[in-house]
Amino acid sequence: MCGTCGCSDPKNDVALIDPDSGERTVLRQGGILGQGGDHAPGHAHAHGHAHDHAHDHGHAHDHADGHHHHRHDGDDRPHAHGPNGEVISLETAVLAKNDGIAARNRGWFEGRGVLALNLLSSPGAGKTTLLERTIRELGDRVRIDVIEGDQMTANDAERVRAAGARAVQINTGAGCHLEADMVAGAVARLDPAPGTILMIENVGNLVCPAMFDLGEHLKIAVISTTEGEDKPLKYPHIFRACGLVLINKIDLSPHVGFDDAACRANIREIAPEAEIIALSARTGEGFEAWTGWLTARSA
Amino acid sequence: MHELGLCRNILAIVSEHAGDRPVRRVRVAVGPLACVERPALAFCWGVVTEGTGLAAAELAFVEAEGDTFLIKDYELEEAA
């Protein structure tokens, strides 16, 4: 699908980097803005990137006699039949392609017995540090694989790999979030074993990742005490989508005047159902609640 | 921020469906929680459709609930 952000730069490919081998695989060539605009009618699909789905809904038209004949090959989308000037109902989700791939990912995870978690936060909230400590504390009991999403560099994949997990890095180029097909490509490379916890560290961004289903079991937001208590109110879409919110860097609370009660109230206002765990990925304070949450779900 | 990419999706889906029939208007249903800025989407629509078969097609909005984000329908030009 072509749902890459408006900030895309045509020079940037979306790439998968395996830090074990150093191998770099291009998932999408040439970015989106460079080649994506060629959507002339009769030119069914001219995106500048590979599609891994078959266009099996052939739809031929014949206007020769002024009437409108359809031929449907497996096209079950609702639409009215009528003369020219008609309104044709589509009722198609704009992100249908992403959501279809996400559903496939979800089915694969469930069939394989893999717990996939989508970690969302602003840059610097401590997602990678959280993963490093999680891997070190749980690594001998639970297998943890990691998909790292960043615009550039394989730094984070190398960090979690050094902590003891298998990891691949997705570089989104200029894209500001992960999409389901990128995760599908990374999962094909990682091939996580049954019982694995698959941590998907999304691109640090509190806006766009909320929209894109990756097929994960749950979205988890990480907020840090240095960011202020009102992040959930400022970026409600992300927090509304999450089933668990981690408040990180509580070791710094006294130094930055963080109001824990206000932060929890703000989270509850936006996401009443979400669980909340406060911890410090640096000192390990409160960490057993998080590792307990994880092991209870991965069993 | 991502409205340009979303516009490309809308264009791709409608272009594929409409084939070579001229499209006058595309209606999208956007809910208040859809995380989609209508003015941004409308602006991007002009950029994205330029030079395509949908360059003359207007992008219109329909009220919807929750996080709905659908291409509702599209309207064809009258036959010449």
Tell me the ipTM for this assembly: 0.85
Say if residues A241 and A206 touch (Cβ distance below 8 Å).
no
Residue matched to tokens 């159902």? A273
Phi then psi dihedrals of residue A8, to 5 deg:
-65, 145
CB-based contact A40 B71, cutoff 8 Å: no
The pLDDT of residue A173 = 82
Alpha carbons A127 and A123: distance in angstroms, whole number: 8
Chain A residues with CB inside 8 Å of B46's CB? none
The pLDDT of residue A67 = 41
Chain B residues with CB inside 8 Å of A42's CB? 19-20, 53
CB-based contact B79 A39, cutoff 8 Å: no
Mutation site, B20, B45, B73, interface A, largest A CB count within 10 A: B73
Alpha carbons A152 and B54: distance in angstroms, whole number: 35
Sheet containing B58-63: order of strands: A87-93, B69-76, B23-30, B58-63
Classify residue B69 as exposed, middle or buried by CB count within 10 Å of its CB (0-12, 13-18, 19+). buried
- Model confidence, pTM: 0.76
* pLDDT tens figures, A171-199: 988 778 899 999 999 999 999 999 999 99
> What would you measure as the largest C-alpha separation in chain B, in angstroms?
40
Query: Which class would CATH give A14-29+97-298?
Result: alpha beta
Residue matched to tokens 């703000």? A266
Give the H or E element holding residue B18: helix B3-18
Label residue B3 by pLDDT band (50, 70, 90). confident
* pLDDT tens figures, A273-299: 999 999 999 999 999 999 999 999 987
Amino acid identity of A114? Answer: V
* pLDDT tens figures, B38-59: 998 999 899 899 999 999 999 9
Alpha carbons A177 and A94: distance in angstroms, whole number: 17
Alpha carbons B44 and B47: distance in angstroms, whole number: 5
pLDDT beneath 50: ranges in chain A: 1-10, 31-76, 79, 81
Label residue B9 by pLDDT band (50, 70, 90). confident
Question: Which residue of chain A is at minimal alpha-carbon distance from B52?
Answer: A40
Label residue B8 by pLDDT band (50, 70, 90). confident
Architecture of domain B3-76: 2-Layer Sandwich (3.30)
The pLDDT of residue B4 = 79
Q: Quickly list DSSP for chain A.
A: -----TT--TTPPEEEEETTTTEEEEEESSTTTTTTT---TT-----SS---S-----EEEE-TTSS-EEEESS--------STT-EEEEEEETTHHHHHHHHHHHHHHHHHT-EEEEEE--TTSSHHHHHHHHHHHHTTTS-EEEEEEESS-SHHHHHHHHTT-EEEEEE-TT--S--HHHHHHHHHHH-PPTT-EEEEE--S-SSGGGG---S-SEEEEEEEGGG-TTHHHHSHHHHHT-SEEEEE-GGGHHHHT--HHHHHHHHHHH-TT-EEEE--TTT-TTHHHHHHHHHHHH-
Chain B residues with CB inside 8 Å of A97's CB? 9
Q: How many CA atoms are closer than 13 Å to the CA of A121, on its beta-carbon side?
A: 25
Classify residue A54 as exposed, middle or buried by CB count within 10 Å of its CB (0-12, 13-18, 19+). exposed
